[in-house]
């Protein structure tokens, strides 16, 4: 590699000397000029690779000298050196004049050397590119004795080179859109050679053949041909390149092949854009698949946790049913004056009730809580909660409502929705320690009604918001939260056929939107009755069948029904219950009430037993008990009530009063 020649232009003797010395020590061949005129003259004589040009010269401004140099020799590099104080405008002027780089004095020797090395590398790269482009141009222009054709998958001509016209006789206008098969002899056509060639070229990534072909004038030529597939992406073939060399006169085979390969490279380069786009789409698809796989793993993990918590809650509710019921009966039998024993009984019932609330949260998270969805007016439900919400959030938080009028009804369990709103309000209050504003908004969408709960609290980071719906994840201090609040609300909304979205900005607040399925305009909404009802019920003269596989629960429910005056028969599964019902029918009798657990062993659950009982004894009253239950696809009829375990006597009495207070 030859030594780079540098022209150092500076009217300052000492400055010029220092720069020349640095450049010579770096191994460059250096010449000097004191003025702009002298610099232009040496440019013509010496043709340096780079000019180190001071901006302030005694005769011609350095910017003008730069323009003249670039006009005379565009490929010569110019590095301008300015005075110690230079403005951005000065630097821009220098670069606009054609300078390749701009430095301000004082310049460190290392910086000067590094800048020059970088500029020379740039020059060598540009020179190499110019030489390559010129070589490609010469090869393509000289490939007139080599036919190069591109086709689609069926062999229709897409491009026809000048060489193809020279060798075969047809023009591009005559051939584009027609079949390449016309170049084959009748014998090869009859043997299926064109299709066979394309099939082999695809499977073997290209083939070479020597055979007879036909010119436009019908004369045959012996030709060496190459057929190669064009690939649109890593897997698919979009067409073929057909390269033919006339071997009839056996002339310049090697040179023509080289020129043809160069033309082929240009053809392939022309498809680089499409290939790059295909690669981009492939990368995007891979990323989307990774995100989908991650979401699937998270869903599977959540489902596993949900199954675990749902199973635990179911068994726990059965035990709590016995604890609550037995404690309630013991408390009733205690002497009125024994206050200490009454307090102990109250503590047991309070602890059991708290445990029941926790299992309710677990069931809501795992989407196994029993729901009783009914057409509900969302605005009216919110209006009924206002007083309770104000007491819950306290005086430091302002409550505002923005409710869209004439809102369509939603299909939802109103009691559970009230709990969800209260849960979100408590979370919002805890996020606004110094006070703030809680806003409830409603609006209608084509398929949903949206309830928005917005606060002006501390907000969440993107990382926290991404995990906010995970069970047991909480940002509160230890002892202040279970991490089930949002997970519970999310589980309930999903179980109701809706969605929950979180939008939060740190320091600004959080907005949680609940989307619930809307009902058609004009749907009649219902009032959800409270569990508060009569304190007792007279079951005298009525026969009840209790069906429960858990012995403790079965005995507790049976005893409670006896205390209410019912004639009680108990069964541990649906098979025994069916035998009892069949026996009654044979004797011309019936039961007035069936109290059954939903999750029965033996293949027949409580829903199925209830359907059977309705067919055998139309009008029979049914209470279905559950520690958890998947939502039934059909709404409960007037003769059926759902009872969530654990329950106290008053709740059972309330259900019985509803059933026997309604006409069958």
* Interval 101-123 mean pLDDT: 85
Are 129 and 105 members of one domain? yes
Closest CA to 245 of 234, 236, 254: 254
In a domain, 335, yes or no: yes
In a domain, 342, yes or no: yes
* Interval 500-525 mean pLDDT: 86
Rg (CA), the chain: 45
* Interval 130-143 mean pLDDT: 57
State both tokens at 477.
Answer: 């201090």
Confidence tier at 369 by pLDDT (50, 70, 90): low
Closest CA to 514 of 445, 583, 430, 435: 445
Contact between 261 and 161 (Cβ < 8 Å):
no
In a domain, 373, yes or no: no
Among the residue ranges 52-56, 86-90, 426-430, the one predicted with the least confidence is 86-90
Among the residue ranges 208-212, 272-276, 342-346, 418-422, the one predicted with the least confidence is 272-276
Q: What is the pLDDT of residue 427?
A: 85
pLDDT above 70 for 632: no
Q: Look up residue 179 and give its DSSP letter.
A: B
Contact between 181 and 191 (Cβ < 8 Å):
no
β-strands 448-455, 436-444: how paired? Answer: antiparallel
Are 124 and 165 members of one domain? no
pLDDT above 80 for 561: yes
In a domain, 371, yes or no: no
Tell me the percentage of the chain whose pLDDT exceeds 90.
Answer: 35
Closest CA to 624 of 614, 616, 615: 614
Number of domains in the chain: 5
Contact between 180 and 165 (Cβ < 8 Å):
no
List helix spans (H) across 572-605: 574-586
Q: How far apart are CA 365 and CA 495, in angstroms?
A: 10
Q: What is the pLDDT of residue 170?
A: 94
Q: What is the pLDDT of residue 83?
A: 66
Domain boundary among 270, 305, 333: 270
In a domain, 370, yes or no: no
CATH number at residue 573: 3.40.50.2300
Q: What is the pLDDT of residue 31?
A: 92
Q: What is the pLDDT of residue 87?
A: 66
Q: How far apart are CA 66 and CA 62, in angstroms?
A: 6
* Interval 238-258 mean pLDDT: 72
Q: Other CB atoms closer than 10 Å to residue 211's CB: what's the count?
A: 15
Q: What is the pLDDT of residue 253?
A: 54
Are 266 and 349 members of one domain? no
Half-sphere exposure of 498 (CA within 13 A, CB side): 26
Domain boundary among 105, 136, 167: 136
Are 150 and 42 members of one domain? no
CATH number at residue 187: 3.30.450.20
pLDDT above 60 for 251: no
Residues 6+ apart with CB under 8 A from 618: none
CA dihedral 248, 250, 253, 257 (to 10 degrees): 0
Q: How far apart are CA 16 and CA 22, in angstroms?
A: 10
Q: What is the pLDDT of residue 185?
A: 93
Q: What is the pLDDT of residue 401?
A: 93
In a domain, 527, yes or no: no
Q: What is the pLDDT of residue 303?
A: 58
∠ CA 178-181-185, rounded to 5°: 135
pLDDT above 80 for 325: no
Q: How far apart are CA 396 and CA 547, in angstroms?
A: 52
Looking at every residue in the chain, the average pLDDT score rounds to 82
Are 358 and 485 members of one domain? no
* Interval 144-153 mean pLDDT: 87
Are 641 and 548 members of one domain? yes
Contact between 626 and 599 (Cβ < 8 Å):
yes
* Interval 7-28 mean pLDDT: 89
State both tokens at 34.
Answer: 């004191």
pLDDT, tens digit (0-9, with 9 covering 90-100), for 48-80: 999 998 888 899 888 888 989 888 888 888 888
Are 460 and 499 members of one domain? yes
Q: What is the pLDDT of residue 140?
A: 42
Q: What is the pLDDT of residue 188?
A: 94
Residue 130 is part of which domain span? 5-136
* Interval 224-245 mean pLDDT: 84
Closest CA to 650 of 319, 313, 328: 328
Q: How far apart are CA 411 and CA 369, in angstroms?
A: 16
Q: What is the pLDDT of residue 264?
A: 66
State both tokens at 419.
Answer: 């709990």
The residue with greater pLDDT, 298 or 60, is 60
Bridge partners of 374, per DSSP, are 412
CATH number at residue 415: 3.30.565.10
Q: What is the pLDDT of residue 115?
A: 87
CA dihedral 436, 440, 441, 442 (to 10 degrees): 170
Q: Other CB atoms closer than 10 Å to residue 87's CB: what's the count?
A: 9
Are 343 and 212 members of one domain? no
In a domain, 372, yes or no: no
* Interval 295-308 mean pLDDT: 57
Are 621 and 593 members of one domain? yes
Q: What is the pLDDT of residue 395?
A: 86
pLDDT above 80 for 151: yes
Burial class (CB in 10 A: 0-12, 13-18, 19+), 38: middle
Are 395 and 512 members of one domain? yes
The full DSSP string for 51-120 is: EEEES--SSS-HHHHHHHHHHH-TTSEEEEEE-SS--HHHHHHHHHTT-SEEEESS--HHHHHHHHHHHH
The full DSSP string for 181-197 is: GGGB-HHHHHTTHHHHH
Place of tokens 């206050």: 339
Confidence tier at 607 by pLDDT (50, 70, 90): very high
Q: What is the pLDDT of residue 196?
A: 94
Contact between 637 and 618 (Cβ < 8 Å):
no
Are 339 and 403 members of one domain? no
Q: What is the pLDDT of residue 90?
A: 65
The residue with greater pLDDT, 592 or 414, is 592
Q: Other CB atoms closer than 10 Å to residue 637's CB: what's the count?
A: 10
Q: How far apart are CA 27 and CA 1, in angstroms?
A: 12
pLDDT above 60 for 141: no
Domain boundary among 270, 295, 322: 270
Are 418 and 351 members of one domain? no
pLDDT, tens digit (0-9, with 9 covering 90-100), for 565-580: 999 999 999 999 999 9
In a domain, 37, yes or no: yes
User: What's this model's pTM, rounded to 2 decimal places?
Assistant: 0.39
């Amino acid at each position: 590699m030859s030594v780079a020649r540098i022209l150092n232009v500076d009217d300052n003797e000492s400055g010029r000397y220092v720069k020349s010395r640095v450049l010579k020590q770096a191994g460059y061949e250096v010449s000097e000029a004191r003025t702009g005129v002298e610099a232009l003259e040496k440019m013509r004589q010496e043709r340096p690779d780079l000019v180190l040009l001071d901006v302030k010269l005694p005769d011609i401004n350095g910017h003008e000298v730069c323009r003249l140099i670039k006009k005379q020799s565009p490929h010569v590099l110019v590095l301008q050196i300015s005075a110690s104080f230079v403005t951005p405008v000065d630097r821009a002027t220098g670069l606009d004049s054609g300078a390749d780089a701009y430095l301000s004095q004082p310049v460190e020797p290392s910086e000067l050397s590094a800048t020059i090395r970088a500029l020379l590398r740039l020059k060598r790269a540009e020179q190499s590119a110019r030489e390559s482009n010129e070589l490609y141009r010469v090869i393509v222009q000289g490939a007139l004795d080599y036919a190069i054709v591109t086709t689609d998958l069926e062999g229709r001509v897409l491009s026809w080179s000048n060489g193809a016209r020279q060798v075969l006789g047809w023009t591009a206008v005559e051939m584009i859109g027609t079949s390449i098969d016309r170049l084959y002899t009748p014998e090869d056509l009859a043997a299926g050679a064109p299709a066979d060639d394309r099939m082999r070229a695809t499977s073997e990534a290209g083939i070479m053949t020597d055979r007879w072909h036909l010119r436009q004038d019908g004369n045959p030529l012996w030709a060496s041909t190459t057929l190669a597939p064009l690939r649109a992406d890593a897997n698919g073939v979009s067409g073929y390149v057909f390269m033919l060399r006339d071997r009839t006169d056996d002339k310049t085979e090697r040179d023509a092949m080289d020129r043809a390969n160069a033309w082929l490279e240009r053809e392939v380069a022309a498809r680089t854009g499409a290939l790059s786009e295909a690669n981009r789409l492939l990368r995007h698809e891979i990323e989307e698949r990774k995100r989908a796989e991650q979401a699937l793993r998270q869903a599977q993990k959540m489902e596993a946790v949900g199954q675990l918590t749902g199973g635990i809650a179911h068994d726990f509710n059965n035990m709590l049913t016995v604890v609550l019921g037995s404690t309630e009966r013991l408390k009733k039998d205690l002497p009125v004056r024994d206050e200490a024993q009454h307090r102990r009984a109250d503590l047991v019932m309070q602890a059991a009730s708290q445990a029941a609330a926790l299992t309710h949260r677990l069931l809501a998270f795992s989407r196994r809580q029993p729901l009783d969805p009914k057409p509900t007016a969302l605005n009216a439900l919110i209006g009924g909660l206002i007083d309770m919400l104000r007491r819950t959030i306290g005086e430091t938080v302002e409550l505002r409502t923005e409710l869209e009028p004439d809102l369509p009804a939603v299909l939802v369990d109103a009691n559970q929705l009230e709990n969800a709103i209260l849960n979100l309000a408590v979370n919002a209050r805890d996020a606004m320690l110094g006070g703030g504003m809680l806003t409830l908004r409603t609006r209608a969408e084509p398929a949903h009604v949206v309830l928005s709960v917005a606060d002006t609290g501390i907000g969440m980071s993107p990382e926290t918001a991404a995990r906010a719906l995970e069970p047991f994840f909480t940002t509160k201090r230890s002892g202040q939260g279970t991490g089930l609040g949002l997970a519970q609300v999310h589980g309930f909304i999903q179980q109701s056929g809706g969605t929950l979205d979180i939008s939060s900005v740190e320091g600004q607040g959080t907005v949680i939107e609940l989307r619930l399925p809307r009902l058609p305009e004009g749907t009649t909404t219902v009032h959800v009755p409270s569990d508060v009802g009569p304190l007792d019920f007279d079951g005298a003269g009525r026969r009840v069948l209790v069906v429960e596989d858990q012995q403790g629960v079965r005995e507790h429910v049976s005893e409670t029904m006896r205390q209410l005056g019912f004639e009680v028969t108990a069964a541990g599964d649906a098979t025994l219950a069916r035998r009892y019902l069949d026996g009654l029918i044979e004797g011309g009798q019936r039961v007035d009430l069936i109290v059954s657990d939903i999750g029965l062993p033996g293949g027949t659950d409580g829903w199925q037993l209830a359907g059977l009982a309705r067919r055998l004894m139309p009008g029979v009253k049914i209470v279905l008990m559950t520690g958890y239950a998947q939502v039934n696809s059909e709404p409960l009829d007037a003769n059926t009530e759902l009872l969530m375990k654990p329950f106290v006597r008053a709740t059972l009495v309330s259900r019985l009063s509803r059933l026997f207070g309604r006409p069958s």
